[in-house]
Amino acid sequence: MGKINVLGFDVANLIAAGEVVDRPSSVVKELLENAIDAGATKITVEIKNGGSSFIRISDDGCGMEHEDLPTAILRHATSKIKNADDLNEIMTLGFRGEALAAISSVSKVRIMSRQRGSEMGSLLEAHGGEIQSHIKSGCTEGTTVIVEDIFYNVPARKKFLKSDRAETSAVSAVVEKVALSRPDISFRYITDGGLKYLTQGDGNLQNAVYAVLGRDVAKKTVKVMRQDGGIKVQGYISTPEYASAYRTQENFYINSRFVKSKTAQAAIEQAYASYIPSGKFPFCVLNIIIDPSSVDVNVHPAKLEVKFSNEKLVFDAVYYAVRTALDGGIQRPTLYDEPDNIVSGKGKELLQAPFPVTDRSEKTPKAEKIVFDTNSNFGILRQDNTINYSDLQPQKSNAPVSRPSNDYADEEAFSLSFPKKQEQKAEPIRVENHNENPKILGDVSDFDEKTDEKDGTTSPNDKIVPDYKIIGEAFNSYVILEMGDLMYLIDKHAAHERIIFEDLKKKLSLKAPSSQVLMLPVVAHLNNEELIALHQYGDEIKKTGFSYDIDEKAVYLHEIPSEIEVSGAQDAFSALVSRLAAKEGYGELTRYEHFEKALYQASCKAAIKAGRVYDHAHIKWICDRVLTLDNIKYCPHGRPIAFEITKHFLEKQFERIK
């Protein structure tokens, strides 16, 4: 007798269910996807006890015919594909025809459905996949699926359910991701009888972020919108002020389908590397719109992972989209949070109270609704599956695009008055060029990226230094500066570090970068890996202004970049080369990105130190640069370099004004 059995239909279904349905959150995910595929504009998700006793998903989608209800719960029953070819062009969320079969085989299910325009609806009830009843009945248009007692017939699996609380948060995470993927659909989410949130469904992603994640998160976002190599990346990312200890807030979507993508994750984290400290993670809701034939969504049971035919293209698209948004869209941090709807400088709410705060209850913004850009659609795939690829023309990869629009930044409350403002009354002073070669020559290899001003305005060095006064320095670390109605606290080390970094980076695109010739060479001793790195990156290193001879493992520096003090040259050079030699964890980085990272290290070593005294001219030079380079808000390691405090804020703190 042979030992191989062909499994019965019911056993096969249970095994399949194990793949698709492992806990209530996966049921919710599948049912939500069905509702979306049905073209719903309003979806309600309700759970009780973390979904283990009760899950309800109601939609106003197309509904099902009476005869289709029993078929829907059969395995491989789907209306979404017909043949193998269709698998190559999947635009719906579901396509395997497995979910309803799997869910109904491990729970008690009721499906109520009425087709649009049809007189009567139907009700089907099944326990463990066995149909209990199937009758015509009155119900609203659309479909409601109720799933009760999940795993009642699979005790082994029921044992693995976690606490109600843990299951609830898993469901919440799913609903959140789906709700953010479709701002054009209104989602109502109810747990144990309480309404958690309701999204408007007006197509505005930022409104959805506000409803789902709250005001604090929604306020600290920058819009992303860029297309590169035929891939469009759009959505919102957090400003550097928002940094989470966890990765859970990184939400990626491929053609509006939520996915986990290591590639996209690596790309965004690299892009933030000079904005937030390492070990912290940004928030993002990014939709990657790509030709469906270049993605395989059929590689994971829950369709959570995808494979791209060209991972590098996707990495670059995400990386540059995020960098463009960050470089162009962030504001200098303040010590307090600006409320909405008010003119800059009037009424502040403390974010991290640096000073004693009086009762601010009456100042809490009354307006619940933040007015967001109504055009910030998410690049949604419509139900009719149309996606406009004609506007996805491939463009030269890695070229900076025009400055992204940051809707928030355009709003008064967020335009935190900085040098951009033209109405400086004070006498302007010209700042000298600190580079001997300030003009940007636009020819050099791939090193020309982002060194140019994004929107074609003047080079930062040509900017006018506003009139200001240095008041002093606290703890030999923080320069206090007064300018108009603003006071700044500048971290002198962090600021200097960023200035050096920006200058060195800029030199990579110059034909004849400036350097200083040393009377006596400075000697640096390198190990083998570092010597190899020195050879590999010799061109770039020389462009920054170093020139040297190598004798065995000793490197004699004859010239160093003009930005670097002689006393710090050896440290800076060693840091640069040692970072270049350390390749770990940067597999996805391009040569440019790798070099850029090493430059952070060198800049840090070359910068003046906190806690030490430096002459006034040096400090003033740093302040001039901080006030003229509006792209320096954070040090290359992601810490803020300056905070601003308004006069108005201080007057309020001292209760001079109401």
- The 8-class DSSP code of residue 43 comes to E
Taking the least distance from each CB to ligand ADP, the nearer of 64 and 572 is 64
Taking the least distance from each CB to ligand ADP, the nearer of 114 and 637 is 114
Taking the least distance from each CB to ligand ADP, the nearer of 143 and 270 is 143
Q: Are the CB atoms for 628 and 460 separated by under 8 Å?
A: yes
d(CA 493, CA 607): 6
Based on the shown chain and the rule CB under 6 A, indicate whether residue 78 belongs to the binding site for ligand ADP. yes
Based on the shown chain and the rule CB under 6 A, indicate whether residue 41 belongs to the binding site for ligand ADP. no
Q: Considering only the stretches 32-40, 236-244, 525-533, 578-586, report the one whose residues sit in contact with ligand ADP under the rule CB under 6 A.
A: 32-40
Which of the choices ligand ADP, Mg ion, none does residue 38 contact, using the CB cut-off of 5 to 8 A by kind?
Answer: ligand ADP
| Smallest separation (angstroms) from ligand ADP to the CB of 115 | 9
Q: Are the CB atoms for 412 and 371 separated by under 8 Å?
A: no
Joined tokens for residue 475: 């703890």
Q: Are the CB atoms for 329 and 406 separated by under 8 Å?
A: yes
Taking the least distance from each CB to Mg ion, the nearer of 62 and 486 is 62
Taking the least distance from each CB to ligand ADP, the nearer of 63 and 419 is 63
| Smallest separation (angstroms) from ligand ADP to the CB of 149 | 19
Residues binding ligand ADP: what is the number (CB under 6 A)? Answer: 24
Spatial CB neighbours of 305, under 8 Å, sequence gap ≥ 6: 259, 260, 261, 299
Q: Considering only the stretches 58-66, 395-403, 524-532, 583-591, report the one whose residues sit in contact with ligand ADP under the rule CB under 6 A.
A: 58-66
Based on the shown chain and the rule CB under 6 A, indicate whether residue 62 belongs to the binding site for ligand ADP. yes
Q: Which residues lie near Mg ion (CB under 5 A)?
A: 34, 94, 99
Q: Are the CB atoms for 435 and 509 separated by under 8 Å?
A: no
- Chain residue whose CB lies nearest ligand ADP: 94
Based on the shown chain and the rule CB under 6 A, indicate whether residue 91 belongs to the binding site for ligand ADP. no
- Which helix H or strand E contains 156, and what residues bound it? helix 155-158
Taking the least distance from each CB to ligand ADP, the nearer of 39 and 521 is 39
Based on the shown chain and the rule CB under 6 A, indicate whether residue 61 belongs to the binding site for ligand ADP. yes
Based on the shown chain and the rule CB under 6 A, indicate whether residue 301 belongs to the binding site for ligand ADP. no
| Smallest separation (angstroms) from ligand ADP to the CB of 118 | 12
| Smallest separation (angstroms) from ligand ADP to the CB of 290 | 21
Taking the least distance from each CB to ligand ADP, the nearer of 35 and 47 is 35
Taking the least distance from each CB to ligand ADP, the nearer of 62 and 205 is 62
C-alpha of 141 from chain center: 37
Taking the least distance from each CB to ligand ADP, the nearer of 109 and 243 is 109
Residue 197 falls in which region: left (phi positive, over 0), alpha (psi -120 to 50) or beta:
beta
| Smallest separation (angstroms) from ligand ADP to the CB of 263 | 26
Joined tokens for residue 434: 């600190």
Angle formed by the axes of helices 566-581 and 591-606, nearest 10°: 150
Binder among 79, 415, 437, 631 for ligand ADP (CB under 6 A): 79
Angle formed by the axes of helices 24-37 and 164-181, nearest 10°: 20
Identity of the amino acid at 486 = L
Could you tell me the sign of the dihedral formed by the alpha carbons of 626, 631, 636, 637, in that order?
positive
Q: Considering only the stretches 28-36, 41-49, 439-447, 556-564, report the one whose residues sit in contact with ligand ADP under the rule CB under 6 A.
A: 28-36
Taking the least distance from each CB to ligand ADP, the nearer of 65 and 192 is 65
Spatial CB neighbours of 478, under 8 Å, sequence gap ≥ 6: 489, 490, 491, 492
Taking the least distance from each CB to ligand ADP, the nearer of 141 and 473 is 141
Which of the choices ligand ADP, Mg ion, none does residue 503 contact, using the CB cut-off of 5 to 8 A by kind?
Answer: none
Count the Cβ atoms, other than its own, within 10 Å of residue 324: 24
Token pair 């629009």 in the structure block, residue: 405
d(CA 563, CA 544): 10
Can you spell out the DSSP letters for 301-323?
TTS-B-EES-HHHHHHHHHHHHH
d(CA 32, CA 287): 18
Joined tokens for residue 419: 């040098």
SS3 569: helix
Q: Tell me the C-alpha to C-alpha distance, in Å, between residue 5 and each of 2, 8, 12, 105, 363.
A: 8, 9, 12, 21, 72
Which of the choices Mg ion, ligand ADP, none does residue 392 contact, using the CB cut-off of 5 to 8 A by kind?
Answer: none
Q: Considering only the stretches 90-98, 227-235, 279-287, 417-425, report the one whose residues sit in contact with ligand ADP under the rule CB under 6 A.
A: 90-98
Of 350, 208, 224, the closest CA to residue 282 belongs to 224
Taking the least distance from each CB to ligand ADP, the nearer of 94 and 339 is 94
Based on the shown chain and the rule CB under 6 A, indicate whether residue 59 belongs to the binding site for ligand ADP. yes
Taking the least distance from each CB to ligand ADP, the nearer of 62 and 560 is 62
| Smallest separation (angstroms) from ligand ADP to the CB of 341 | 39
- The 8-class DSSP code of residue 471 comes to E
> Which 93-152 positions form the footprint of ligand ADP (CB under 6 A)?
94-101, 143
* 63 φ/ψ angles, rounded to the nearest 5 degrees: 75, 175
- The 8-class DSSP code of residue 76 comes to T
- Which helix H or strand E contains 289, and what residues bound it? strand 284-289
| Smallest separation (angstroms) from ligand ADP to the CB of 142 | 7
| Smallest separation (angstroms) from ligand ADP to the CB of 59 | 5
| Smallest separation (angstroms) from ligand ADP to the CB of 258 | 15
SS3 507: helix
| Smallest separation (angstroms) from ligand ADP to the CB of 72 | 4
Taking the least distance from each CB to ligand ADP, the nearer of 56 and 219 is 56
| Smallest separation (angstroms) from ligand ADP to the CB of 42 | 12
Which of the choices Mg ion, ligand ADP, none does residue 541 contact, using the CB cut-off of 5 to 8 A by kind?
Answer: none
d(CA 257, CA 203): 16
| Smallest separation (angstroms) from Mg ion to the CB of 33 | 5
Can you spell out the DSSP letters for 221-265?
EEEEEEEETTEEEEEEEE-TT--BSSSTTEEEEETTEEEB-HHHH
Angle at 633 between CA 630 and CA 636, to 5 degrees: 120
Based on the shown chain and the rule CB under 6 A, indicate whether residue 72 belongs to the binding site for ligand ADP. yes
Angle at 496 between CA 517 and CA 505, to 5 degrees: 65
| Smallest separation (angstroms) from ligand ADP to the CB of 31 | 7
| Smallest separation (angstroms) from ligand ADP to the CB of 2 | 33
Taking the least distance from each CB to ligand ADP, the nearer of 17 and 290 is 17
| Smallest separation (angstroms) from Mg ion to the CB of 34 | 4
Based on the shown chain and the rule CB under 6 A, indicate whether residue 43 belongs to the binding site for ligand ADP. no
Based on the shown chain and the rule CB under 6 A, indicate whether residue 64 belongs to the binding site for ligand ADP. yes
Catalog residues that contact ligand ADP under the rule CB under 6 A: 30, 34-35, 37-38, 59, 61-64, 72, 77-80, 94-101, 143
